[in-house]
Structure 1
Amino acid sequence: MLDTRRMQVLRAVVTSGSVTAAARNLGYTPSAVSQQMAALEKEAGIALLERTGRGVRPTDAGRLLTEYAVAIGKQIAEAETALAELRAGRTGRVSMRYFTTAGSTLVAPALAALRRAQPGVQVELKLSDPDDPMPQVRDRLADLALVVRPHGQPGADGQSGVDGQPGADGVRFEHLLDDRYHAVLPAGHPLAAKRLLDMTDLAEEPWVASETPGPCLDPILDACGAAGFSPDFVVESGDYATAQGFVAAGLGVSLVPRLGLDAPHPGVVVREVHNPVPVRSIHAAVRGPAPDRPAVRGLLDALRDAVAQIGEASAAADSPSGPA
C-alpha cells in the first residue's frame, strides 16, 4: 500500500527538482528525504526518480504518482477545511423530532434563527405524533426531540434524567417552557363574562377532550382532580383545532395549551384558569451530559431564543396596554 505522506514528499522533490531543495522546503534532512523516496519506490515496486546532473526528474511512474499526490493533497486540504467548518458549527447535520403544536410557534422560528446563525447546518425534521420519540433519541436515530414531561418531574419514569443530568438511558432533558392550559368556551357562554376562571367553575360543564391519553392529557386530569372533580368528556377530538370547532358548536368546554391557541376559532372565547393552573412542561431530550456537536448546541440555543420570544409576546398580550 502506498504511503500518502511519502507521496507528498515525492511531490516536493519533483516540484523543486532536487532532494536537497525538497529537504530545505520541507524542513527535513536530505538523507531523510532520500530514505522516504527509497521506501516509496519499494512500495511502488518501480523506480520513481532518475538523476539528471545535480538534480532529479520523475520517471513515468514518478510523474503518475506526483499527479495523484497533487489530487490527494487537494482533497486533504478540502477535508481539513470542512472539518474546521464542522468544529466551528458552520456546517453539520442534526435530526430533530417534534410534536404538532410546537411546530409553528416554537420549531419554525427556531429553525429560521438557526439558518441565519449557522446557514450551513442541515436539519432533518420529522413529526413524532403520535409516536413516542424517546426510543429514537436513546438509539441515536435522532439528535434531539421535543417532548412533554410531567410538570416539575422530568425524570419521573426512573430512566431518563432530570434537567441537565442524563439518566440510566443516557438521555437528559433541557427544560424549555411551561405551557399553560386555557379554558376554551363557546362564544356567549355565561362563564365568558369572567376574565379569570377557577377550575371549579368548569366542574358541571360537559367537556370536549382536546387530548388523547398521555402526557398532554395528564395535566388536565390532575388539575381537575385537585379541584375536586372529574371532567365529563362528551366528545373526543384528538387535536386542538377540532376541539375548538366542537366547543364553538356548543358541545362543551375544553382546556387547550397556549401553543395550541395560535389560531383561535372565531366561535370561541379563551380565558385563563387557576386554582390550580394546568401546565404541561416542554423539554428538549438529548443524549449525554452535554451536546458535543456545535450543530446540536446551535439548535438548542435557537429553541431557547424562540421560547424567549414566545414569553415576550405573551407578556405584551397580557399587559394593560397590550391586545385585548
Structure 2
Amino acid sequence: MLDVRRLRLLRDLAQHGTIAAVAAAHTYTPSAVSQQLAALEREAGVALLARTGRRVTLTPAGRTLAAHAEEVLAALERAGAAVAATRAGLSGPLRIGAFPTAMRTLLPPALVALGEAHPALELSVQELDPAVVPPMLRDGTLDVALVHDYDLVPIEPDPALRTAPLLDETIFVAASGPRSLAACRDEPWILASQGTLCHTMTVRACEAAGFTPRVRHHADDFVTVLTFVAAGQGVALVPELAAMDVPAGVVLTPLPTRRRTRLAFRAGAAAHPAVVAFADTLGIALGSG
C-alpha cells in the first residue's frame, strides 16, 4: 500500500523540482524528505528518482506515479467533501487567503454574510500576495483563496488546484493628470515589493511601452500608493478595486491591461459545503473538480 503522505511529497517534487523546495514547503528537513521518498520507492518496488550528484529527477515511473498522485489526492478531497455534506450545518475552520485589495473590498461583506448564515463556521483570513498562495493551498494551510493574475503576468496552471472566475478589472495609470503609459517614461515610479505579481506587472507593462521604470518608492498598499501619487512622489499603475477612493489631484487613465480575480481551491474540493458557501457569498459558480 502506498503512503498518501509520501505520494504528496512526490507530487510536490514534480511541481517544485528540488528536494530542498519540497522540504521548505512542508517545513521538513531535506534529509527527512529524502528518507520519505526512499520509503515510497520501496513501497512501489521501482526506482522513482534518478540521482546525478546532488541533482534529483523523476524517472518515467516517478512521473507516472506523480500524475496518479494528483488523482489520488483529488479523490481524497472529494471524499472529504462528501462526508462534510452529510453533516447538519456547517462548522469547523475555513481558512481563507486573500490579497490586500480583496481584503478591503470583497471580503468584508462576504464574511458578514457567511457568518450570519453559518455561525458555527470558524472563519480565519490571512493577507497574502497571490504568488505565495499555491503551496499553502496544496499543503492544507489554506482551504480557499482569492488570487489574481494579469494578462502580462499569467499564472501557470497548477494540476493540484482549481480556480473559478470572479471579476476582471481595468488597470489605470495614476498620475497628476491624464497620462499615457509612454508619457511616464521619465517620471519617478511607485512600485510594489519585488517578487509580487503587481511589481512584475508594472515592470512588464513599462517594458512593453519601451522603457524601464525609474523606481523611487516601494509600497504594497494601494491606498498608500495613491496617497504618494497625490503628494507628487511619482506615478503608479493601480487596479480598479484600488481606485474607489481616489485622492484629490490624482487622475486615472485606463490601460488595455487587465487583472483577473479568481477563487482558488484544491482539486476535488469544489463540492465541499464550506467552499460552496464561500463561493456563493461571492457570487461565484463552481464547476466540478
Q: TM-score, normalised by structure 2?
A: 0.60
- Residue 182 of structure 1 corresponds to 172
The more displaced of 100-109 and 174-183 is 174-183
- Residue 280 of structure 1 corresponds to 259
- Residue 127 of structure 2 corresponds to 127
- Partner-residue secondary structure (3-state), 1:142: coil
- Partner-residue secondary structure (3-state), 2:94: strand
Q: Is the 8 A contact 2:163 2:262 kept in 1?
A: yes
Rounded Cα–Cα distance in structure 2 between residues aligned with 1:256 and 1:84:
40
Aligned AA (1:278): T
- Residue 299 of structure 1 corresponds to 278
- Partner-residue secondary structure (3-state), 2:283: helix
CA change 1:300–1:152 in 2 (3 A) is farther
Q: Could you say which structure has the larger radius of gyration?
A: 1
Q: Deviations over 1:197-222 (max 9, x none)?
A: 43223223222224543212222222
Aligned AA (1:271): L
CA change 1:259–1:140 in 2 (3 A) is same
TM-superposed CA distance for 1:125, in Å, is 1.7
Aligned AA (2:200): D
- Residue 139 of structure 1 corresponds to 139
Q: Is the 8 A contact 1:89 1:295 kept in 2?
A: no
- Partner-residue secondary structure (3-state), 2:280: helix
Q: 2:203 aligns with which of 209, 218, 221?
A: 221
List gaps (5 residues or longer) in structure 1: 1-82, 161-166, 187-191, 306-324
- What pairs with 1:130-279 in structure 2 (closer than 5 Å)? 132-151=132-151, 155-156=155-156, 160=158, 167=159, 170-186=160-176, 192=177, 194=178, 197-266=179-248, 268-274=249-255, 277-279=256-258
Identity between Structure 1 and Structure 2 (%): 33
TM-superposed CA distance for 1:140, in Å, is 1.5
List gaps (5 residues or longer) in structure 2: 1-82, 285-289
Q: Is the 8 A contact 1:240 1:256 kept in 2?
A: yes
Aligned AA (2:272): R
TM-superposed CA distance for 1:105, in Å, is 0.6
Rounded Cα–Cα distance in structure 1 between residues aligned with 2:112 and 2:101:
17
- Partner-residue secondary structure (3-state), 2:164: strand
Q: Is the 8 A contact 1:134 1:145 kept in 2?
A: no
Aligned AA (2:148): V
Point out which structure has higher relative CO (alpha carbons under 8 A, 6+ apart): 2
Rounded Cα–Cα distance in structure 2 between residues aligned with 1:185 and 1:133:
31
| Root-mean-square deviation (Å) | 2.9
Aligned AA (1:209): L
CA change 1:92–1:235 in 2 (3 A) is closer
- Residue 318 of structure 1 corresponds to none
- What pairs with 1:312-323 in structure 2 (closer than 5 Å)? none
Aligned AA (2:143): D
CA change 1:271–1:137 in 2 (3 A) is same
- What pairs with 1:37-116 in structure 2 (closer than 5 Å)? 87=87, 89-116=89-116
Rounded Cα–Cα distance in structure 1 between residues aligned with 2:211 and 2:131:
30
Q: Is the 8 A contact 1:97 1:125 kept in 2?
A: yes
CA change 1:152–1:113 in 2 (3 A) is farther
Q: TM-score, normalised by structure 1?
A: 0.54
Aligned AA (1:140): G
TM-superposed CA distance for 1:86, in Å, is 6.0
Rounded Cα–Cα distance in structure 1 between residues aligned with 2:173 and 2:131:
27
Rounded Cα–Cα distance in structure 2 between residues aligned with 1:235 and 1:153:
22
Rounded Cα–Cα distance in structure 1 between residues aligned with 2:88 and 2:259:
35
Rounded Cα–Cα distance in structure 2 between residues aligned with 1:300 and 1:280:
19
CA change 1:248–1:201 in 2 (3 A) is same
Aligned AA (1:173): T
Aligned AA (1:177): L
